[in-house]
Structure formats: C-alpha cells, structure tokens
Amino acid sequence: MRLPVGRGPASAMLVEALSGVPGRLSFDAVEGWRTDESVDVAAIGDEDLQLFLFVCYELHYRGWDGVDERWEWEPSLLAVRAVAEHRFESALRRVVGPVPAVEADDVPSTLGTLVADDDGPSIAAELHRRGDLERFREFVAQRSVYHLKEADPHSWGIPRLDGPAKAALVEIQMDEYGRGQLPRMHAELFRDTMRWLGLDTGYHAYVDSVPAVTLAANNLISLFGLHRRWRGALLGHLAAFEMTSSLPNRRYGDALRRLGGPPEATRFYDEHVVADAVHEQIAAYDLCGSFAAAEPARAADVLFGAACCLTLDRLVAEHVLTSWAQQRSSLRLPIALGH
Ligand SMILES: [Fe+2]
Ligand SMILES: [Fe+2]
C-alpha cells in the first residue's frame, strides 16, 4: 500500500516523516489541535485530522509500503497521535451526547432501543430504489476501506476479554473469517464483488478517494480496538454494527441482482443477511450482556460505542446521499477501475 497523499499540514508532515528513518516527530503541525478547545462535530469531517489518524492506525495493521516498521511504536509518534485522538474523542462525545447510566442486565434491551430509534437516512434504500452501476461502484469503493480488513479492528478485543464474552466474540469473528477457509472470508467475498464491478481489489486502493467522514468511521473502530480502556465501546460498536446489518444487506444484494450481478457478486451481501441475523443476537446478549455482567462499571461504555457507530453511519450516509442528490460523486477523486 502506497502512503496516501497528505490533506493538510499534519497529515503531510506525517507522510513525509514516515518515508524516512524513525525519529522524533514534531508537535508543530498539530499545535492547533492541542491549543484549540472549541472541538465540535467538524473534527469528524476534518480531512487532515482523519487522514492523520488513519495513517497512524494502519501501522498496526498491514503497514505502508516503504515505511520502517519501527515507526509503529515510536514514542513521539504515539504522543502526537494522542493529541489527534483527544480531538477526535472530544468530537465524538460532543456529537453523541451523554449516554445514560444503565444496569448491566439492561444492556441488551437498551442496545435494541438505541438501534430501533435510529432514524438516519439509508444508502441501502436509495441503491435499492434507483441505484445504477456507477453509484453502486462508488458505494463499494467507499466501503472497501473497511471490508477489505473486515473484522480485524474488532479482533483487538479478543485478548482483552475472558469467559462468555470472549467465547461470543470468537464465535462471531470465526464467521467473519470464513471459519478459516480463505474463499469464505468476508473480506474475500467482498473482493469478489469488487472484481465483478471492475474495481481495484488492492488493499486500501481507494483511501485517497474517500472523504474524511469515511476515514472517521474506520478510525473509530481502531480507536476503540487499540485502546484497552475502550473495550466496552468496541463491543458496543460491534453490536450496533451487527444489529443494523441484515436488512440493508438484503437491499444491497437485491440492488446488485437488479443490475445484473451474478451470485458471486452478490454473495457477500447474501451471506450477511443470514449471518448477521444470528450475529446480532450473539452480540447483544452473549457478548455485550456477558461483558456488562462481568464489568458493570463499563456498561455505559458499551452504549457509547453503539451510539458512536450509529452516529458515524448516519454522517456517512448523509454525506453520500447529499452528494448524490446534488448529482455529484461522494468521493474526492474519480474511481480508478482495476480491470
Ligand atoms: Fe461480515
Ligand atoms: Fe457479522
């Protein structure tokens, strides 16, 4: 994966520094983030901030071409990243608002209420109603940033859990990874969809193309996954993700069939209709319910994570649907086709 192109002073400084040997990263480019306390929802759509975080986090996944792997744990990079994370976290708290205290026993039903009350706009409904191949391709390019590493960010939770919650997370993740069979791994099924659409199936081929809000939705899971203190939020995020998956995936699959997609192209979506109907139960009860029972002080974090997931999904959908309503692309750059 090539390092992305910087989108502002901080991300440009980072990309340039990563091309050299690991050494002290300067705070200069993030000074504005450190001193400005007026954080609001705009930080979620801040191209410079979100790309900065995305580039930092990717060092913990597959890394970047030509970047010395020792950068992953370079203390000065982690210190500068903490400034960016503080800004992102403050924006999340601002946009999500206070999460009510909850008894551990009530976590599964409260998650259900949160999801049921979510009335954000639906990309699935729009694609189902009148999406053409160009819009579908664009949507898949947006989602590829997550789906080509599907399940990886939530896997950071496994070593941080114990007992029934750990078993539940592993049960979900086993399906995501195709129970160890490469052709059944969800990321590979997604590659099949991309291939049929003629898209570039390279890991992170579309990072330069997607806007800040899409990067933010990905950074959110990495933030929760990489910090043990956010383990409750990570599980809540996964629960909200699974609980809002089955119906949209049915619509995506049907939309793609209407556009001529053969079974290998729609399989990713068809698989999720079935799998996530099961996963949502496991996630709410066996995973989050068990976790809250074991760590009641973290029950509110579970709801915070779920609320963040729903909020970022809504912001992404608003961005995409507003762009389409104005007859323009939701991407920053035109799509490069792979074939
Ligand atoms: Fe999946
Ligand atoms: Fe799932």
Q: What is the pLDDT of residue 339?
A: 54
Q: Taking 90 as the threshold, does the pLDDT of residue 151 lie above it?
A: yes
Q: Say how many Å lie between the CA of residue 278 and the centre of ligand 2.
A: 8
Q: Taking 70 as the threshold, does the pLDDT of residue 280 lie above it?
A: yes
Instruction: Check if the beta carbon of residue 287 is closer than 8 Å to that of residue 165.
Output: yes
Can you give the pTM of this predicted structure? 0.97
Q: What is the pLDDT of residue 268?
A: 98
Question: What is the C-alpha radius of gyration for the chain, rounded to an integer number of angstroms?
Answer: 19
Q: Which of residues 269 and 38 earns the better pLDDT score?
A: 269
Q: Say how many Å lie between the CA of residue 244 and the centre of ligand 2.
A: 10
b/e sequence 137-157, b meaning 16+ C-beta within 10 Å: bbbbbbbbbbbbbbbbbbbbb
- Locate all alpha helices (DSSP H) within the chain, ordered by sequence: 9-18, 31-35, 47-58, 75-96, 107-117, 123-130, 133-147, 152-155, 163-176, 186-196, 212-226, 231-243, 246-258, 263-281, 290-294, 299-325
Q: Taking 90 as the threshold, does the pLDDT of residue 27 lie above it?
A: no
Q: What is the pLDDT of residue 33?
A: 85
d(CA 212, CA 210): 7
Q: Is 334 exposed, middle or buried (0-12, 13-18, 19+ CB in 10 A)?
A: exposed
Q: Say how many Å lie between the CA of residue 176 and the centre of ligand 2.
A: 6
Q: Say how many Å lie between the CA of residue 173 and the centre of ligand 1.
A: 8
Rounded mean pLDDT of the chain?
95
Q: What is the pLDDT of residue 43?
A: 92
Q: Say how many Å lie between the CA of residue 84 and the centre of ligand 2.
A: 30
Instruction: Compute the average pLDDT of residues 157-167.
Output: 98
Q: Say how many Å lie between the CA of residue 36 and the centre of ligand 1.
A: 38
Nearest ligand, CA 275? 2
Q: Say how many Å lie between the CA of residue 42 and the centre of ligand 2.
A: 30
Instruction: Compute the average pLDDT of residues 122-151.
Output: 97
Q: Which residues face 199 on adjacent strands?
A: 337
Nearest ligand, CA 150? 1
Q: Say how many Å lie between the CA of residue 279 and the centre of ligand 2.
A: 5
Q: Say how many Å lie between the CA of residue 248 and the centre of ligand 2.
A: 13
Instruction: Compute the average pLDDT of residues 270-285.
Output: 94
d(CA 138, CA 140): 5
Nearest ligand, CA 245? 2
The pLDDT confidence band at residue 301, using thresholds 50, 70 and 90, is: very high
Q: Say how many Å lie between the CA of residue 153 and the centre of ligand 2.
A: 13
- Give phi and psi for 199, each to the nearest 5: -85, 160
Q: Say how many Å lie between the CA of residue 271 and the centre of ligand 2.
A: 9
What is the tens place of the pLDDT at every residue in 173-211?
999 999 999 999 999 999 999 999 999 999 999 999 999
Q: Say how many Å lie between the CA of residue 287 and the centre of ligand 2.
A: 13
d(CA 332, CA 67): 25
Q: What is the pLDDT of residue 337?
A: 74
Q: What is the pLDDT of residue 40?
A: 72
Closest CA to 161 of 324, 23, 286, 306: 286
Q: Taking 90 as the threshold, does the pLDDT of residue 334 lie above it?
A: no
Centroid of chain to Cα 36 = 26
Instruction: Compute the average pLDDT of residues 76-95.
Output: 95
